[in-house]
Chain A
Amino acid sequence: MTFYVIAEGVIAFLLVAGGIFAFTGSLGMLQFKDFFMRLHGPTKGTTLGIGCVLIASMLYFTITQRELHVQELLITLFLFITAPVTGHMLAKTGLHMHLRFLTSTRGSVPEFRDEDVGQSRVARPAKARHPWRSRQRRRRP
């Protein structure tokens, strides 16, 4: 009896969490000012929300019908694999079409030192000498 109460609580929590995450992802897509900012909401928030809803459904059917139910896990796995690919392709499309973006999100250009570009030697720290082993190496030749 207690098991069913706990399972119902877990399923209800997962359902509400999934709804909130999906809502947040779509709200981010509606509210952000820039395509590249708008891309963040659906690729992360909505994917997590749909994963929560699908796992809640899997738990519900596994418990009520007393048999293992893994079709939802298949959909979850598929969505979790394909969401980053879709986001990557959409970002490439946005870069290709030269969409406008806020200049404040661009960040600063990193400053390279001379040794990073190859203009001077790489400054390597001197190796720490072991107190007696380095002495032995010197003696060998």
Chain B
Amino acid sequence: MLDTALMISLALIVLALAMNVYRLAIGPDIPDRLLALDTMYVNSIALIVLLGLWLNTKTYFEAAILIAMLGFVSTMAICRYLLRGDIIE
């Protein structure tokens, strides 16, 4: 049961990542692409956690924490740049 659920979840999240890549490619404006990139960060965290469940290791959670923090900081930095024209004033 757990293997089937893991496969279903992996398939759904890979499909979600494919849709994010499509939106990143066709996004008409810059904030659309930024939103797609932020969602891709979150979905890649899910993918890493599922990989850790599949391989039954705890090694990858530090990578997940790093991706979460760097994704937030980079999104905020690009938002600041688009809003104010400067990141740190």
Which residues of A does B touch, CB under 8 Å?
A: 8-9, 11-13, 15-16, 18-20, 22-23, 25-27, 29-30, 35, 38-39, 42, 46-47, 49-50, 53-54, 56-57, 60-61, 64, 69, 71-72, 74-75, 78-79, 82-83, 85-86, 89-90, 92-94, 96-97, 99
Complex Cα spacing A8 to B1, Å: 8
Most chain A beta-carbon contacts within 10 A, residue among B2, B5, B53, B72: B5
Cβ contact of A75, chosen from B12, B32, B64, B80, cutoff 8 A: B64
Q: Is there an interface contact between B50 and A93, defined as CB atoms closer than 8 Å?
A: no
- Indicate if the CB atoms of B43 and A46 lie closer than 8 Å: yes
Q: Is the CB of B16 within 8 A of A23?
A: yes
A42 x B35 contact (CB < 8 A): yes
Residues of B with C-beta under 8 A to A69: 58
Secondary structure call for the A interface? helix
Closest 4 A/B residue pairs (Cβ): A19-B12, A12-B5, A19-B9, A26-B16
- Within 16-38 of B, Cβ neighbours of A (below 8 Å) are at 16-17, 19-20, 22-23, 29-32, 34-36, 38
* CB proximity of B14 to chain A, nearest CB, Å: 10
Chain B residues in the interface with A (C-beta under 8 A): 1-2, 4-6, 8-13, 15-17, 19-20, 22-23, 29-32, 34-36, 38-39, 42-43, 45-46, 49-50, 52-53, 56, 58, 61, 64-65, 68-69, 72, 75-76, 79-80, 82-83
